[in-house]
Amino acid sequence: MDITSLLGSFLGDSSLEAIGNVTNTDTSDVTNVLKSALPKLLEGASKQAASKTNKEGFEEALATHAKDRISSVASFLKKVDLEDGAKIVKHLIGGTSATATKEISKESGVSAKNVTSILSAIAPLFMSLLGKEEKNSKATDATELLTSLMGNVNMTKVLKSVLGGSSSTGSTLSKAASLIGGLMKKK
């Protein structure tokens, strides 16, 4: 799996529709939220994996979520635990989750309530996909996994190919690419 595959898991038409159904939001709102949120979740996962105090707990969470059954995103989301998702978001984004939610709301044009709902729905899927990839990869830990997923790719190009680039998303894509690229180099 590479970063394009991971992001693509969230952004296929059926996935967007399933997320919209679970959260009672329009698929265009889901798309706009994911454009802003996925880089933040990746950043949070990278920080958790690299943190001496959080790494062990993060590894355990990945192992637990790796056991989740995902025959399809739609079937997974029908059973998603939104409370667990909210906890995952808080762990990944940390004490800044309210700030991040407001930021995502502003960038996406979607209400903070719907942003929170969408994040809570996708967070368990995000952790499950990362956990499965770590289990199946040759990575020795989550830090190595995230580094290998990201590699030396041009994040702006990847995000544009997966999310669809437009002039209105250029700034967000550039910021996300810089942020994720910087995190991977700090390892």
Q: How far apart are CA 132 and CA 113, in angstroms?
A: 30
Predicted local distance difference test score (pLDDT) of residue 150: 57
Which runs of consecutive H residues, i.e. helices, occur in the chain? 3-11, 13-23, 27-50, 55-66, 73-78, 82-93, 97-108, 112-136, 142-150, 155-163, 170-186
Domain range enclosing 169: 3-186
pLDDT in tens, 33-65: 988 888 888 888 888 888 889 889 999 999 999
Q: How far apart are CA 20 and CA 118, in angstroms?
A: 8
Mean pLDDT over 125-141 rounds to 81
Q: How far apart are CA 182 and CA 83, in angstroms?
A: 31
Mean pLDDT over 90-103 rounds to 83
- What does pTM read for this prediction? 0.76
- Angle at CA 49, nearest 5°, toward 32 and 38? 5
Count of domains observed in the chain? 1
Taking CA atoms, 79 is separated from 26, 122, 153, in Å, by 20, 12, 34
CA nearest to 46, candidates 34, 32, 31, 62:
62
